[in-house]
């Protein structure tokens, strides 16, 4: 058992369900469980170890207290208890909803029956978690498939090469720096088209988002950007948290940022779909970002000032 860095969404602190049902210490304990869990969202149900890691110098929080808090989280559906390999373990029911892990580590805690670890062909030391519906979580308001568990395990090494190439292809925009490789973008799409079309049901919403992005950024790129496999997975992940309209609003706000659209010292376009949809925090930032107010032209301001000054002089002299 060890502590990990985890994401804490801003909405957690205003979650009325958590505020009404759990005390501040219990909510902090819940966050601590995220950090102690494996990348699978599982951890051992060991109150003594939890005490050692999370409340080592707090005498008011005892092992019995932690046991009570665990039972309360289980009763509220936040934790799912299970036994595996003779150990009592816990599964964080909302872990896959709030934690986006691109390169999860293999499990150290025994997995429950509804989670399977599958290694990548290109590197057996890496892989991903395939999660089916937990037996007691059918009423939970989340999708148990994490954004990186929606494709079959194939061509992982080729995918990594494609991702690096796409990042290089999208560095420049029309009229700035090197010519944007729209043809390379198209070639990349043709190579991945079969993979994308394997599951038409997962294409609908991501394709709408890419179409909307291309509509808003049509004057920036030489050609429309494609729905690559990685972009599809990123957008699918964001659609678990945000509505279609919210993602469109984030796109509109990002388009208003001249800096991210190429007006910077490097003349580089940062406002790519990969930049916007890489995690929930990024979307949340641009969803709440107010479009910048452009500074008025200096000459116009000066002309208005002179006009107002002349008008005041006329009034003064006339008086």
Residue bearing tokens 């659609």: 239
| Confidence (pLDDT) at 289 | 75
| Confidence (pLDDT) at 235 | 92
Contact 182, 165 (CB under 8 A): no
Residue bearing tokens 């293999």: 106
| Confidence (pLDDT) at 298 | 57
pTM above 0.75, yes or no: no
The SS3 assignment for 86 reads coil
- From the list 276, 294, 273, the residue with the least C-alpha distance to 286 is 276
Residue 2: CB partners within 8 Å, gap ≥ 6?
36
Residue 111: CB partners within 8 Å, gap ≥ 6?
40, 42, 84, 117
Pick the CATH number of 10-131 from 1.20.120, 1.10.3470, 1.10.10, 1.10.8: 1.10.10
User: In whole angstroms, what is the distance from residue 17 CA to residue 20 CA?
Assistant: 5
| Confidence (pLDDT) at 304 | 67
User: In whole angstroms, what is the distance from residue 82 CA to residue 112 CA?
Assistant: 7
Contact 115, 129 (CB under 8 A): yes
Q: pLDDT per position in the chain (319 positions), as tens?
A: 788 888 888 888 988 888 999 999 999 999 999 989 888 889 999 999 999 999 988 888 999 999 999 999 999 889 999 998 888 999 998 887 788 777 788 888 999 888 888 887 767 777 888 887 666 543 333 333 333 334 433 444 444 455 555 555 444 444 443 334 444 444 444 444 443 444 444 445 788 899 999 999 988 888 889 899 899 999 999 998 888 888 999 999 999 888 888 888 888 888 899 999 999 888 988 988 765 544 555 566 666 666 666 665 555 555 5
Q: Give the DSSP H or E segment for 83.
A: strand 79-84
* Domains of the chain, residue spans: 10-131, 156-287
Contact 78, 93 (CB under 8 A): yes
| Cα dihedral 144/150/153/158 (nearest 10) | -140
Residue bearing tokens 């950024």: 217
Instruction: Spell out the long-range contacts of 199-202 with Cβ–Cβ below 8 A and sequence spacing 24 or more.
Output: 199/150, 202/150, 202/232, 202/236
């Amino acid at each position: 058992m060890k502590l990990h860095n985890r994401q804490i969404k801003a909405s957690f602190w205003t979650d009325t369900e958590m505020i009404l049902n759990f005390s501040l210490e219990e909510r902090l304990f819940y966050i601590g469980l995220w950090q102690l869990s494996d990348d699978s969202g599982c951890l051992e149900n060991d109150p003594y170890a939890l005490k050692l890691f999370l409340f080592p110098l707090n005498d008011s929080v005892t092992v019995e207290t932690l046991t009570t808090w665990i039972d309360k989280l289980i009763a509220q559906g936040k934790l799912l208890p299970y036994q595996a390999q003779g150990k009592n373990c816990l599964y964080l029911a909302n872990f896959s909803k709030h934690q986006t892990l691109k390169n999860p580590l293999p499990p150290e805690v025994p997995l429950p029956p509804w989670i399977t670890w599958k290694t990548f062909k290109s590197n057996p030391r890496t892989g991903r978690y395939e999660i089916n519906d937990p037996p007691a979580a059918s009423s939970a308001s989340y999708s148990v498939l994490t954004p990186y568990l929606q494709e079959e395990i194939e061509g992982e090494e080729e995918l990594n090469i494609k991702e690096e190439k796409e990042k290089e292809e999208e560095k420049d925009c029309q009229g700035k720096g090197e010519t944007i490789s729209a043809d390379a973008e198209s070639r990349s799409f043709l190579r991945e088209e079969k993979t994308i079309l394997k599951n038409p049901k997962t294409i609908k919403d991501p394709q709408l988002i890419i179409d909307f992005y291309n509509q808003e950024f049509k004057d920036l790129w030489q050609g429309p950007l494609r729905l690559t496999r990685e972009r599809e997975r990123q957008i699918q992940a964001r659609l678990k948290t945000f509505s279609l309209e919210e993602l469109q609003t984030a796109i509109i706000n990002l388009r208003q940022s001249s800096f991210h659209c190429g007006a910077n010292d490097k003349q580089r376009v940062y406002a790519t779909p990969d930049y916007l949809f890489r995690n929930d925090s990024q979307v949340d930032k641009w969803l709440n970002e107010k479009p910048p107010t452009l500074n008025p032209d200096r000459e116009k301001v000066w002309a208005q000032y002179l006009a107002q000054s002349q008008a005041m002089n006329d009034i003064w002299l006339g008086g």
